Chains A and B, each alone.
Chain A
Amino acid sequence: MAKDLKHFLDSVKKELPDDYVEVTRPVNPDNYDVTAILEHLTQKNQFPMVVFKNPSNLQGKEAGIPIVSNVFARRERCALALDWPVDQPNLPLSLEYARLERENVAPVEIKKGEAPVKEIILQGKEADPSILPGVRHYEMDLSPVFTMTLVMKDPDTGIYDITFAKAFYKGSQRLGISIHTPHLERIKNKYEERNQPAPVVIILGHHPAFFLGSLALSPYDSDDYATVGSFLREPLRLVESETWGKDFLVPADAEILIEGVIPPGEIEIVDPFGEVTRHYQAQCIRQAMDVTAITRRKDAIMQDIFSGHEGHWNLGAIPKEGSIYNAVNKRYGNVKAVHMPHSGIGRLACYISINKKKEGDGKLAGMAALLESWTIQVVVVVDDNIDVFNEKEVVWAMLAMVDPKRDVTMVDNVYTMFTTAMGHNKIIIDATKPLDRAFPKLLNVPESAMRRIKLDEWINQ
Chain B
Amino acid sequence: MERIFWVECPKCSDCFCCDYELRHSKYKLICPFCSEQFLDSESPEIDERL
Contacts and interface: CB of A to CB of B under 8 A. Distances in A.
Interface string B1-34: 1101000000000001111011000011110110
B1 A423 contact: yes
A140 B29 CA distance: 14
A285 B27 contact: yes
B1 A272 contact: no
Contacts of A282: 2, 4, 17-19
A303 B24 CA distance: 38
Interface residues of B, number: 15
Contacts, number: 46
A143 B30 CA distance: 10
A269 interface: yes
B27 A269 contact: yes
Nearest to A425: B1
Contacts of B1: 419-423
A141 B29 contact: no
Nearest to A284: B19
Q: Is the interface of A mostly helix, strand, loop or mixed?
A: loop
Given A140-B16, A272-B16, A272-B17, A283 B30 contact: yes
Interface string A410-427: 000000000111110000
Contacts of A423: 1
Interface in A413-455: 419-423
Contacts of B27: 267, 269, 285
B32 A272 contact: yes
A280 interface: yes
Interface string A261-277: 00000010101100000
A269 B17 contact: no
B28 to A, nearest CB: 7
Contacts of A422: 1
A167 interface: no
Contacts of A419: 1-2
Nearest to B18: A283
A133 B17 CA distance: 26
Contact of A284 (B21, B28, B33): B21
Interface string A142-163: 1100000000000000000000
B17 A280 contact: yes
Interface in A259-313: 267, 269, 271-272, 280, 282-285
Contacts of B16: 140, 272, 280, 283
Interface of A: 140-143, 267, 269, 271-272, 280, 282-285, 419-423
8 contacts: A140-B32, A142-B32, A280-B16, A280-B17, A282-B4, A283-B16, A283-B18, A283-B32
- Nearest first, the 6 A-B pairs at minimum CB distance are A284-B19, A283-B18, A282-B17, A282-B4, A419-B2, A142-B32
Interface of B: 1-2, 4, 16-19, 21-22, 27-30, 32-33
Given A141-B32, A283-B18, 12 more contacts: A143-B32, A267-B27, A269-B28, A269-B30, A271-B19, A283-B17, A283-B22, A284-B19, A284-B22, A419-B2, A420-B1, A423-B1
